Amino acid sequence: MPNVKDLETQQKAFENWRSLVARFGSPLYVYDLDTVEHQVRELKQALPTNAKVFYSLKANPLPAIVKTVQTAGCCLEVCSNHELSVACNSGISIEQILYSGPGKTTEEIGQAIAIGVNHFSVESYTDLDRLEKAAETAQKSIRLLLRVNPMEPLQGGLAMSGTPSQFGFEESVLLNGAQRLSQLSSYVEIIGYHIYYGTQIDSEESLIKSFKAGIDCTERLTSQLGFTPQVIDLGGGFPWPFANQKSAIALDNLRSRLEQLLAQRKYTAEAEIWFESGRYLSASSGTLLATILDIKPGKFDSKFVVLDAGINHLGGMSGLGRIPRGYVLMYNLSSEQEAWSTETANEGRTLVVGPLCSPLDCLTRKTELPPSVNINDIVAIPNVGAYGLTASLVAFLSRPAPLEVSLRNGIPVDLSSLRTGHESLQFLLPEPENLSINITGDSIREQYA
C-alpha cells in the first residue's frame, strides 16, 4: 500500500500526465529525465568505483535520454550508424563509444571508422577480417574487444551466452584460430574481451554468478592466448520490471562482492572493467499514456478494452515471445483508484487490446476490469522507458508513432516523433548508377537533402 507521500507524488504525476495528453495527444510516451539521472547514480554506486558504465542505445535511442546518460557520466554502446549519430550528437567524445553487434556490415564499419570511432567489439574471425580491412582502407587505428561466448552456461534471464547463440566467438573457436591474432595489421590492436551473458538477469546472486563466469573465462583465455588485456567488458544484464510495478532487485552487495571477485584475478588483474546497461538506466523513466477507445462484451463472458496503443507502440518483442510479458499494470488517470493490473487476486476475463487488426495485438489478458473504468479514460503504463517504442512493431498498420515528451522537474524540455511510413525514391530510378550498395533511407536523405 503506497504511503501518503507516495500517493501525493502519484496524484501530482497523474495531473501532469493528464495535462500532457491534453497538450500533445494520445497515445503519448513521457520520460522523466531526472529519473534517468537517478538510475545512472544508482548503478554507478552499485559497481566498483573505477568501472566504466556504457549505456546501450538499443534500450532506447531517444536523443534526450542519450544526452542525459552521457552527461551523467556514461559511455555509449551502439549497434548501428543511426545509433552512432545519436551518440555523436549527444556531445560525447568519440573514444567513449563502443560499436558492437553480430552483423556489422563493411559499409557501416567503414563509415564509423571514417568519423573516428576506434572501439569495436569483434564477434568472429570474419568480423575481424572486415574490421581490419576497413581500418587499413581508412588508415586509422582501431582497438578491439573480442566478444566471447563462454563455455559455462548460466540460469536466470534471457541467456545470450553460455548457450548456442549468434553472439561472439565460441570460446573453443577463438582458441583454435588464435594464430590469426598474431597476424594483425598495424592498424589493429586487440585490447581485451567482451562478454554479455544475458539480459534481465533476475537476482543479485545470478548477476554475481554471471560476472564470475565472465572473469573465469577471461582468465582462462588470457593464460592460453598469452596477451594481457587492458579491458574486460563484463556486460551486464541488470534487470528492471517491464510495464509493471514489480520491485526492482536490490544491488546492495554487488559492489563489494564484485570487488572481491576482481581482486582474485591472476592474469587479468590490471584490466579496466567495463559494464553495459540499457533497461536499468532508462526503463523507469518511461510511461506510456493511452486512451480507452472502446469497452465491449465478447463471447463467453469476456470483455475487450480497446486502447489507442497496441503492440505497434509497446511490447512488440514480447508479442513475438522473446521477452517475458509478465503482467501489465495500468493506472486509470480518470479516477483516484489504485492501479489496475493483470496480476489481480481474482483473474478475470477482460483483455486489454490495441487498435491493430490482429488478435496478437493484446497488451494484457485475464484481467478484471474495475467498474470505474470508462471509455475515454486515460491509462498509464509504467516502466516502459526501455524496449518500448523502438522495440515495437511501429510500422504495422502505418499508424503514426506516439509523440515522445521528456520532462525535467515535471516540465517538458524535449519533444520528439519517430518517423514511420514509406518515402518515395522514385526520383533515383532514371539514374540507377546513383544507387550504391550502401543505400538506405537515411543515407539517401542526407545525400540528397
Residues at the interface with ligand PLP (CB under 6 A):
56, 58-59, 77, 100, 160, 196, 199-200, 235-238, 276-280, 386
237: left (phi over 0), alpha (psi -120 to 50) or beta: left
Of 284 and 350, CB closest to ligand PLP: 284
Of 143 and 408, CB closest to ligand PLP: 143
Closest contact distance (angstroms) between CB of 70 and ligand PLP is 16
Closest contact distance (angstroms) between CB of 42 and ligand PLP is 14
Of 56 and 406, CB closest to ligand PLP: 56
Neighbouring residues of 145: CB distance < 8 A, sequence distance ≥ 6: 98, 119, 120, 121, 122, 190, 191, 192, 193, 194, 231, 233
Closest contact distance (angstroms) between CB of 57 and ligand PLP is 9
Closest contact distance (angstroms) between CB of 441 and ligand PLP is 25
Of 234 and 292, CB closest to ligand PLP: 234
Of 162 and 278, CB closest to ligand PLP: 278
Closest contact distance (angstroms) between CB of 233 and ligand PLP is 9
Distance in angstroms (rounded) separating the CA atoms of residues 411 and 419: 24
Grid cell in block for residue 429 = 530510378
- Per the DSSP assignment, residues forming a β-bridge with 306 are 294, 353
Distance in angstroms (rounded) separating the CA atoms of residues 368 and 66: 38
Of 59 and 249, CB closest to ligand PLP: 59
Closest contact distance (angstroms) between CB of 151 and ligand PLP is 19
Grid cell in block for residue 244 = 509493471
Neighbouring residues of 49: CB distance < 8 A, sequence distance ≥ 6: none
Closest contact distance (angstroms) between CB of 15 and ligand PLP is 31
Of 58 and 130, CB closest to ligand PLP: 58
DSSP secondary-structure letter at 399?
Answer: P
Q: At what angle do helices 33-46 and 63-71 cross, to 10 degrees?
A: 40
Closest contact distance (angstroms) between CB of 101 and ligand PLP is 8
DSSP assignment string, 98-131? EE--TT--HHHHHHHHHTT--EEEE-SHHHHHHH
With b for 16 or more beta-carbon neighbours within 10 A and e for fewer, the 237-264 pattern comes to bbbbbbbbbbebbebeebbebbeebbee
Grid cell in block for residue 1 = 500500500
Distance in angstroms (rounded) separating the CA atoms of residues 114 and 239: 35
Of 21 and 64, CB closest to ligand PLP: 64
Q: At what angle do helices 106-114 and 81-89 cross, to 10 degrees?
A: 20
Closest contact distance (angstroms) between CB of 178 and ligand PLP is 23
Of 198 and 355, CB closest to ligand PLP: 198
